[in-house]
C-alpha cells in the first residue's frame, strides 16, 4: 500500500515562477550591481589608477586576464568555457537540489549572478574589471564578492546539515561503538 502522507523534506507544490523568483532575482541583482559598478570604475578611473592613491582600502582599476586571484593569466577562452560549464552545473544543481531550501536557492542565485557578471566581462572585453583593493589582497569586484560570500554560505549550509547525509536508521540502545572490554584494542 502506498502512503499518501506528504514528504516533510520537500516544499509544498509551488508555482515554478515563484520557486524560481529568489535565485533569479538574486542573480539579476548581483549581475546589475556588478556591471554598473564596473561601468562607474571604467568611466571615472584610468587603467591602474587608485582612489585614494594610498591607504588600506582603495578603488583601483585593474584588468584581470586570469581567473580568481589572477591565476591562469591570458586564458580567456578556457575561463569562458569554465564559466559556462559552471553556470550549467549550478542550473543542474538547482534543478535537482535547489528547490528544497530557501537558503540554497539564494546561494545558487548569488553564485550564478557572480559567474554571469565575470563572464559578461570576459566575452565583451576579454578581461574582467576588478576594483576593490585592500592592498594585502588581490583586487576583486562585486561578482567575486558574491561568489565568495555564497561559497561561505554554502559551506555553512552543508556543515549545519552534516554534508546533506542523514542516518539510514535511528540508533538503538546498544548499537554504539564496541565496549572497552571487547577484543578491539582501546585508545
Options 121, 130, 133, 181, the catalytic residue = 130
Sheet-wide strand order for 50-51: 50-51, 58-64, 128-133
pLDDT at 174: 54
Options 34, 121, 133, 144, the catalytic residue = 144
pLDDT at 101: 80
Whether 130 sits among the annotated catalytic residues: the reply is yes
Query: What stretch of H or E contains 63?
Result: strand 58-64
What does each C-alpha distance from 172 to 107, 169, 175, 176 come to in angstroms?
36, 9, 6, 8
> What average pLDDT does this structure show over 2-14?
50
Cα–Cα distance for residue pair 33/143, rounded to 1 Å = 8
Interior/surface letters 135-148, b for 16+ CB within 10 angstroms, e for the rest: eeebbbbbbbbbbe
- Contact, 131 vs 139, CB < 8 A? yes
Whether 144 sits among the annotated catalytic residues: the reply is yes
Q: pLDDT for 17-28, tens place per residue?
A: 677 888 899 999
Q: pLDDT for 59-80, tens place per residue?
A: 999 999 877 766 667 777 888 8
- Contact, 74 vs 65, CB < 8 A? yes
Peptide bond into 52 cis (omega under 30): yes
Q: Is the pTM of this model over 0.75?
A: no
- Contact, 28 vs 113, CB < 8 A? yes
Cα–Cα distance for residue pair 46/164, rounded to 1 Å = 47
Amino acid at each position: 500500500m502506498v502512503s499518501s502522507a506528504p514528504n516533510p523534506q520537500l516544499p509544498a507544490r509551488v508555482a515554478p515562477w515563484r520557486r524560481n523568483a529568489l535565485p533569479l532575482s538574486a542573480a539579476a541583482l548581483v549581475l546589475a550591481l556588478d556591471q554598473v559598478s564596473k561601468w562607474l570604475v571604467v568611466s571615472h578611473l584610468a587603467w591602474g589608477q587608485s582612489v585614494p592613491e594610498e591607504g588600506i582600502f582603495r578603488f583601483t582599476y585593474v584588468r584581470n586576464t586570469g581567473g580568481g586571484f589572477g591565476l591562469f593569466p591570458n586564458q580567456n577562452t578556457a575561463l569562458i568555457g569554465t564559466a559556462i560549464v559552471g553556470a550549467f552545473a549550478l542550473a543542474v544543481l538547482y534543478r535537482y537540489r535547489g528547490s528544497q531550501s530557501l537558503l540554497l536557492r539564494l546561494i545558487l542565485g548569488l553564485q550564478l549572478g557572480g559567474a554571469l557578471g565575470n563572464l559578461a566581462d570576459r566575452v565583451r572585453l576579454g578581461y574582467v574589471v576588478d576594483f576593490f583593493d585592500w592592498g594585502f589582497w588581490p583586487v576583486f569586484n562585486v561578482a567575486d564578492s558574491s561568489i565568495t560570500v555564497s561559497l561561505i554560505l554554502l559551506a555553512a549550509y552543508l556543515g549545519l546539515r552534516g554534508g546533506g547525509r542523514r542516518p539510514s536508521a535511528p540508533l538503538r540502545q546498544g548499537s554504539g561503538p564496541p565496549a572497552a572490554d571487547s577484543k578491539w584494542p582501546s585508545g
